[in-house]
Chain A
């Protein structure tokens, strides 16, 4: 690979000239080495830092059950997550003593669960979107932490009838389904949601075997 230095044409006459060496250094091996090193670093680098979504679970404490907060039935939406990317929802409460609520089957697409959530949560969604747009346009200037705080405030105050979502997954559900549905909450800026255990009655509802047994009076 070394460079061949051209011998200059044979000198005529007796005068001897000092041989001129070229000052070129052969860079090829250096380039090879650097190529290797770059490839190595490119392959080992983890560029995108993993992100995380935060969820807070209701505290498990048997003593607290007595004075558990009452959930208003007309604000409640129950989302049942099942296997094969199937998802259902119903409004209100499911109680074996009451008539079985209508279970609506939907999917994770834009026109599926999101449409319903947006419809129910439109006031909060609009308020939060307005604030975010203002910040993006530069009409209002605030730090990210302030924005997060204000969004939280909006979620709490805007709509006293904002939905409360209860997410329940059965044994067939995949972890991805859970993440997707929690994600949907973030997209639709739902303020109140919780992941709770599914009841046997709700499992029956998914199977279509749920029968209400009105309590004898």
Chain B
């Protein structure tokens, strides 16, 4: 008796709808994406009910880490970032007798937050490896003996008088440090700050 051969069929799934779906998702993500700028330190911001969106251009962001280290980022929009960051770095260089080459200035203008004493800036910029660069992020000196943050803020304000100040502090940072930063800002005639927070819903209810 001849055996009955079952026809061998390869299981085949039509992938087209799946591809369609993925293509849609991909387009969505590509269009809505705004890249998270890498930050010098991990900052876990406290929550508030404030719904005001943090400004994203013409802004000086002062980051206060968990360990009370102070970092700085100033971004002034796509068109001006290159100009302002370069000029400010040049001024800082003059102040601390460090000269930056055109290439170094350019590199600096493309990077985001940083925090190191001015004399370490050059080494930081010239370190190619991002892992090695992290070692330099020791915080900007803010004590009254060597108040570099004060200088930074002053030079940024000269270059870009419209810049708003946002303080992005970690929930566990000491109030003392933040207050100190605020004092420095107030010395520079900045009296209005944005405190960066996460959105959290909370409402007061009346008991009646």
Contact = CB atoms under 8 A, between A and B. Distances in A.
Interface of A: 3-4, 6, 24, 27-28, 30-31, 34-35, 37-38, 41-42, 44-46, 48-60, 81, 110, 114, 118, 122, 125-126, 129, 169-171, 173-180, 182-183, 186-188
B54 A175 contact: no
Given A175-B174, A183-B48, A6 B194 contact: no
Nearest to B10: A4
Q: Classify the secondary structure of B's interface with A.
A: mixed
A118 B169 CA distance: 28
Given A31-B19, A50-B53, A57-B193, 17 more contacts: A28-B15, A30-B15, A30-B19, A34-B23, A51-B196, A51-B199, A53-B50, A54-B193, A60-B187, A175-B169, A175-B171, A175-B175, A179-B169, A180-B48, A183-B48, A183-B197, A186-B48
B62 to A, nearest CB: 12
Interface stretch (B33-41, B84-92, B148-156): B33-41
A39 B178 CA distance: 37
6 contacts: A35-B22, A37-B26, A41-B26, A41-B33, A118-B204, A186-B48
Interface size class of B (residues with CB under 8 A): 35 or more
Contact of A52 (B7, B173, B196): B196
Nearest to A46: B36
B192 to A, nearest CB: 5
A42 B30 CA distance: 9
Contacts, number: 173
A9 to B, nearest CB: 9
A169 B198 contact: no
B175 A27 contact: no
A188 B176 CA distance: 26
Nearest to A48: B199
Nearest to A27: B15
A59 B191 contact: yes
Contacts of B8: 6
B164 to A, nearest CB: 9
Nearest to A54: B194
A157 to B, nearest CB: 21
